Every structure is written in C-alpha cells, then in structure tokens.
C-alpha cells in the first residue's frame, strides 16, 4: 500500500517571500512518480510539478521547485517569490506501477499581501 502524508494543514507566506510545503510518502515500489497539484478556490485541480523517482535531479518549473530526498521518502515543494495567485490547496501525490494516484490530505496556502 502507498501512503502520502502532508503534516501541515495550513501555511501562510508573505507576498514575494519563499515558502516550503512538506510531504512524506511510503511505497514498496522502486519506480514511481511524485506530483504536486494545486487546487485554487475555483476548484480546478492543476498539475504544478512532477518528479520521476529514478531521477536524482530535483524538478523545477519556474518559481516552483522540489526537494526530493528518496532515501528519506520526502518530497517538499518550494515556492519562490510567492504571488497572490499561488493561494490554494496544495496536494502531494504518488503514482506507482498501477498508475493510480494516492493523495495527501493537502496544505492550504495563504498568501498575505
């Protein structure tokens, strides 16, 4: 069984500052993918960034980057230069060979002007 844990139900960050959202996971598979999804108040779930477990290099997408620590089974998301539009619920997710996503419980991010 796969599990994904997000221990921070809520986080806040000042506009233009940097924030890191935590995620830990557990899986018995060696080949898997990790994702961060964003769900703004409009409710459309949007893929933010993905990481293949076999890649050592941390994924980056503009202001979003991850810190993937495979041995520690940790997958945190860093948002740099936070913007008001970044305010949303962020979900960490894991997909193994069955291709089914296991989601964490989410972190509600508030961006303060």
* Sites of contact with another protein (CB under 8 A): 4, 33, 35, 37, 42-47, 50, 52, 91, 95, 99-101, 103-106
SS3 85: helix
Q: 6: alpha, beta or left, given left = phi > 0 and alpha = psi -120 to 50?
A: beta
Q: Which residues contact 42 (CB under 8 A, 6 or more apart)?
A: none
Nearer to another protein by Cβ, of 47 and 112: the residue is: 47
Nearer to another protein by Cβ, of 82 and 102: the residue is: 102
Min separation Cβ 42 and another protein, Å: 7
Nearer to another protein by Cβ, of 88 and 104: the residue is: 104
Min separation Cβ 32 and another protein, Å: 8
Q: Which residues contact 5 (CB under 8 A, 6 or more apart)?
A: 23, 24, 25, 104, 105
């Amino acid at each position: 069984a796969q599990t994904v844990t997000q221990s921070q139900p809520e986080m806040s960050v000042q506009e233009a500052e940097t924030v890191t959202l935590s995620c830990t996971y557990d899986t018995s598979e060696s080949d898997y993918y990790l994702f961060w999804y964003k769900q703004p108040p409009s409710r459309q779930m949007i893929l933010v960034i993905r990481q293949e477990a076999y890649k050592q290099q941390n994924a980056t997408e503009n202001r979003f980057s991850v810190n993937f620590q495979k041995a520690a089974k940790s997958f945190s998301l860093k948002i740099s230069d936070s913007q008001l539009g970044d305010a949303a619920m962020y979900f960490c997710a894991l997909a193994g060979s069955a291709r089914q996503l296991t989601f964490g419980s989410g972190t509600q991010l508030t961006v303060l002007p």
